[in-house]
Chain A
Amino acid sequence: MAGASKAAVVDSRANLPFVYRQYSPEQLREVLHKMYLIRRFEEGAEECYTRGLIHGTMHLSIGQEASAMGICMPLAADDQITSTHRGHGHCIAKGAEVSRMFAEFFGKTTGYCKGRGGSMHIADVAKGNLGANGIVAGGIPIAVGAALSSKMMKTGKVVVSFFGDGANNEGAFHEALNMAAIWKLPVIFVCENNGYGMSTSTARSTAVKNIAERAAAYSMPGVIVNGNIFSEVAEASFKAVERARAGEGPTLIESKTYRHRGHSKSDRNRYRTKEEIEDWMANRDPITLFETELRDFGFIDDQGIQAIRDAVAKEIADGIEFAKASPAPEIATLQNYVYTEQA
């Protein structure tokens, strides 16, 4: 980025949305970089799957990048998250390397789960990502437990639990929110409401209009944000993190968003219209929205955007090469990691 206009940018920030006042231009350009990285990672993974290089299935979060990035923006490096089956974005937002993520998809020993977990169990424990989850709502009580550790061990860590709209109808969701509230734990519940749990719309699955309304039942703030607008998400997350760190207890954030792709690789999209999908893609794409804002506010120019895209393309290509070149696990190691190895 050309540094010439930086002073002007900073001076004119006062009237801009939250993130433009809170974070430096470098940090915000890095957000755009990460949003592209998430998008291209998933496109790359999808292509590898289509070409038969990856088996199983995967759940793509394309269209939800601002939500993952916005929530993770105010988190410190040692804060923790629990994620979902649609967790690639969360993983990258919390700091994972795409090379090791690709390696996991290719089932290699260099992958984050050493080839044992695949897409649905991607994790990066060193960076505070306690893992995606194959069980809807499975991570929510675990996040509450991590927050309990934080409180008992006085580590000051805040824990974020990501989950989808569908998860709000599992018992685990309700039990977990209640415990977090009665014990005032430093945890933030983030419902990424993309309108559907697989084929079932929230209107058909959920008795309240907004998932955030569930918060009232557990005496915690319930906040609704436009999940496709990075600044809105980051602002809500920032406030919830402050509240959690101050010992005031949990917050439920409902981040309203949309997934562009099908639920998984076997979805025929029979429960929603093409027009609906195209409308979200054309008019509310979170990367387009953020990029446009950044440019309009003078934080980046076309050259800067192109530089980010080129850098991301290279990271993705390198990541796939790394994955392909990495070793597969030996069959003899089949029973590794079932129990903790004793010295």
Chain B
Amino acid sequence: MDAALRELSYAQAIQEAMAIAMDMDERVFLMGEDIGVYGGAFQVTGDLVERYGTDRVIDTPISELGGAGVAVGAAVTGMRPIFEFQFSDFATLGMEQIVNQAAKMRFMLGGEVSVPVVMRFPAGSGTGAAAQHSQSLEAWLGHVPGLKVIQPATPHDAKGMLLAAIADPDPVMIFEHKLLYKMKGHVPEGHYTVPIGKAEIRREGRDLTIVATSIMVQKALDAAAALEGEGIDIEVVDLRTIRPIDGQTVIDSVKKTSRLLCVYEAVKTLGIGAEVSAMVAESEAFDYLDAPIVRLGGAETPIPYNPDLEKATVPQVPDIIAAARDLVKGVR
């Protein structure tokens, strides 16, 4: 196959990034639950333990708080750990080390240390795993100065942003939507990085800006394609990083389209949509708005088990189509 067209799944892209990083830098190693012979709960580490050995692909006991802390300690003292939480929901158990330690250590010590740790979080609903295995908690961590928080939406970005995260001297938290793991897309060979803190315009348009994160990027693109036939021309901005957030790309887009719809899976209130909306409202783009800003987020409920309820909890393509159409047609 033509190298330029090489396709990998999102999970394979992450695995390749970790292998490249381990080849390039002796200090890089992996820690997490069942990432060795099991290959990770979502087969992201796969056979890396066979290639790099158990000294560099370390199965931890079921100890998220301790494990996250060990990764922080190793990072501060010269190593480059990549710590996998088996599900992003278990960030709640590691929160102390993430929020009180990793995020603040450099600051509290007056710049004497850096914390080059990477933590990976399989996130999101859609797998029937119910309330404790389906959450989208990225905004929680996005609220903490000292952390960087990213949500790659494509295999290409998953690899490039992970490599950027590993090279980054500060703690980087990566939220990977579980339903994206099987998504295929073009992934270049070898080492490359995609910058943290830079949004990407996935589709250009004149009538409406949709700012989306993670799995909602593809859903927004599907909605945009569906509305093309109705003569509605949508711009889709993939936010990619929620801290530090790329306000300028969003502001510039809204100045062009005069309408903003934010789409994200996490619970709607007090989330990314509120931040993006406020950012636009506070900016020069405010004067360009032709309609109220609209947010489409998750329902104000834990994720239910029943599959129909589960789907109804998070925005789906028809919901995005309806909201976008209403916005452009001035229904609201």
Is A273 an interface residue when CB atoms closer than 8 A count as contact? no
Question: Which A residues touch B36, using CB under 8 A?
Answer: 199
Contact B61–A338 (Cβ < 8 Å): no
| Contact among A113, A268, A271 for B305, CB-based, below 8 A | A113
Is A270 an interface residue when CB atoms closer than 8 A count as contact? yes
Contact B38–A198 (Cβ < 8 Å): yes
Q: How far is the CA of A333 from the CA of B229 in the complex (A)?
A: 34
Q: How far is the CA of A283 from the CA of B329 in the complex (A)?
A: 71
Is B9 an interface residue when CB atoms closer than 8 A count as contact? no
Question: Which B residues touch A152, using CB under 8 A?
Answer: none
Q: In this complex, what residue of B is CB-closest to A204?
A: B59
Q: How far is the CA of A223 from the CA of B183 in the complex (A)?
A: 49
Those of A48-93 within 8 Å (CB) of chain B: 55-57
| Contact among B61, B305, B313 for A197, CB-based, below 8 A | B61
**Max chain A C-beta neighbours (<10 A), residue from B90, B300, B305, B308:** B305
B22-30, B62-70, B275-283 - interface stretch:
B62-70
Is A116 an interface residue when CB atoms closer than 8 A count as contact? yes
Contact A331–B305 (Cβ < 8 Å): no
If A55-B307, A120-B130 touch, whether A335 touches B299 (CB-CB below 8 Å) is yes
Contact A205–B132 (Cβ < 8 Å): no
Question: Which A residues touch B304, using CB under 8 A?
Answer: 115-116, 334
Is A117 an interface residue when CB atoms closer than 8 A count as contact? yes
| Contact among B34, B63, B89 for A171, CB-based, below 8 A | B63
Q: How far is the CA of A116 from the CA of B306 in the complex (A)?
A: 6
Interface string of B301-314 (1 = CB under 8 A from A): 11011111100110
Is A319 an interface residue when CB atoms closer than 8 A count as contact? no
Q: In this complex, what residue of A is CB-closest to B130?
A: A118
B9: min CB distance to chain A, Å: 16
If A169-B61, A169-B63, A199-B34 touch, whether A120 touches B129 (CB-CB below 8 Å) is yes
Contact A334–B63 (Cβ < 8 Å): no
B121: min CB distance to chain A, Å: 15
Q: How far is the CA of A171 from the CA of B131 in the complex (A)?
A: 22
Q: How far is the CA of A296 from the CA of B49 in the complex (A)?
A: 49
Q: How far is the CA of A164 from the CA of B39 in the complex (A)?
A: 21
Is B37 an interface residue when CB atoms closer than 8 A count as contact? yes
Q: How far is the CA of A104 from the CA of B299 in the complex (A)?
A: 22
Contact B61–A329 (Cβ < 8 Å): no
Q: How far is the CA of A120 from the CA of B38 in the complex (A)?
A: 21
Question: Which B residues touch A205, using CB under 8 A?
Answer: 59, 61-62
A65: min CB distance to chain B, Å: 24
If A166-B61, A200-B33, A266-B41 touch, whether A328 touches B128 (CB-CB below 8 Å) is no
Question: Which B residues touch A329, using CB under 8 A?
Answer: 306, 308-309
If A136-B62, A171-B65, A200-B59 touch, whether A338 touches B306 (CB-CB below 8 Å) is no
A192: min CB distance to chain B, Å: 14
| Contact among B38, B39, B131, B309 for A334, CB-based, below 8 A | B309
If A113-B305, A198-B34, A329-B306 touch, whether A134 touches B61 (CB-CB below 8 Å) is no
Is B133 an interface residue when CB atoms closer than 8 A count as contact? yes
Q: In this complex, what residue of A is CB-closest to B86?
A: A198
Question: Which A residues touch B132, using CB under 8 A?
Answer: 120-121, 133-135, 138
Q: How far is the CA of A228 from the CA of B136 in the complex (A)?
A: 40
Question: Which B residues touch A135, using CB under 8 A?
Answer: 89-90, 93, 132
If A200-B33, A334-B299 touch, whether A56 touches B65 (CB-CB below 8 Å) is no
Question: Which B residues touch A117, using CB under 8 A?
Answer: 130-131, 305
Is B127 an interface residue when CB atoms closer than 8 A count as contact? yes
Contact B299–A206 (Cβ < 8 Å): no
Interface string of A164-179 (1 = CB under 8 A from B): 0011011100000000
Interface string of A108-133 (1 = CB under 8 A from B): 10000101111011000000000001
Contact A199–B38 (Cβ < 8 Å): yes
Question: Which B residues touch A55, using CB under 8 A?
Answer: 128, 307
Question: Which A residues touch B37, using CB under 8 A?
Answer: 199, 270-271
Question: Which B residues touch A171, using CB under 8 A?
Answer: 63, 65-66, 93
If A116-B306, A166-B62, A270-B37 touch, whether A334 touches B130 (CB-CB below 8 Å) is no
Q: In this complex, what residue of B is CB-closest to A113?
A: B305
Interface string of A264-277 (1 = CB under 8 A from B): 00111011000000
Those of A292-333 within 8 Å (CB) of chain B: 328-329, 331
Known: A136-B62, A198-B41. 12 other contacts (CB 8 A): A115-B306, A116-B130, A117-B305, A118-B306, A120-B130, A134-B129, A166-B62, A198-B33, A198-B38, A200-B34, A329-B306, A338-B302
Sampled A-B contacts (6; CB under 8 Å): A56-B127, A107-B308, A115-B309, A121-B131, A166-B62, A329-B306
**A residues with CB within 8 A of B:** 55-57, 104, 107-108, 113, 115-118, 120-121, 133-138, 166-167, 169-171, 197-200, 204-206, 266-268, 270-271, 328-329, 331, 334-335, 338
